[in-house]
């Protein structure tokens, strides 16, 4: 609308499947990283990994053993509430909530799984979620969210 008010709510479902394997072992920096899929861990910045912690492991399975993988999949659902719609330097401001599941595994995790896991605990999947504000501007998109900060809570750290 012209006055900047917004009267729409958006519910989106997104799926991402990044499956495949090169004819050899992919270079370390080309492998899938848990931070690329989990909102509770920092993603790569300019291709560099700045996070050492494993996935939070909400389901108590062997994903805690996986940092990098050859195979990855993610599905998430996002609910957006537009707060502002502009036309100049700020195109829009949205409040969002997102939740989903992701899985990541290397060839070794499939052929020779880690010791101590049996049954469904051998499936390396985990929960991801995020809540925050996303701002679209002429300079790019900016996201202010809670998930990465929540990831530093002791209950979600690797010491559990």
Residue 136 is predicted with a pLDDT of 94
Q: What is the mean pLDDT of residues 90-112?
A: 91
Condensed to tens digits (0 to 9), the pLDDT of residues 124-147 reads 999 999 999 999 999 999 999 999
Residue 22 is predicted with a pLDDT of 46
SS (H, E, C) the chain: CCCCCCCCCEEEEEEEEECCCCCCCCCHHHCEEHHHHCCCCCCCECCECCCCCCCCCCCCCHHHHCCEECEEEEEEEEEEEEEEECCCCEEEEEEEEEEEEEEEECHHHHHCCCCCCCHHHHCCEEEEEEEEEEEEECCEEEEEECHHHHCCCHHHCCCC
Which residues does 98 contact at the CB level (< 8 Å), separation at least 6? Answer: 39, 76, 77, 78, 79, 128, 129, 130, 131
The tokens for 19 are: 């499956």
Percent of the chain with pLDDT over 90: 36
Residue 12 has pLDDT above 80, yes or no: no
Q: Tell me the whole-structure pTM to 2 decimals.
A: 0.80
């Amino acid at each position: 609308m012209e006055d900047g008010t917004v009267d729409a709510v958006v519910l989106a479902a997104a799926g991402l499947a990044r499956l495949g394997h090169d004819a050899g072992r992919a270079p370390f920096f080309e492998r899938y990283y848990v931070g690329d899929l989990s909102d509770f861990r920092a993603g790569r910045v300019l291709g560099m990994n700045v996070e050492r912690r494993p996935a939070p492991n909400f389901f108590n399975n062997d994903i805690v053993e996986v940092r990098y993988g050859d195979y990855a999949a993610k599905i998430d659902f996002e609910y957006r509430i537009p707060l502002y719609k502009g036309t100049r330097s700020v195109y829009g401001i949205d409040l969002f909530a997102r939740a989903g599941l992701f899985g990541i595994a290397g060839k070794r995790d499939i052929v020779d799984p880690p010791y101590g896991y049996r049954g469904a605990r051998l499936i390396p999947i985990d929960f991801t979620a995020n809540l925050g504000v996303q701002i679209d501007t002429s300079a790019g998109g900016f996201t202010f969210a809670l998930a990465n900060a929540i990831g530093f809570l002791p209950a979600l750290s690797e010491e559990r």
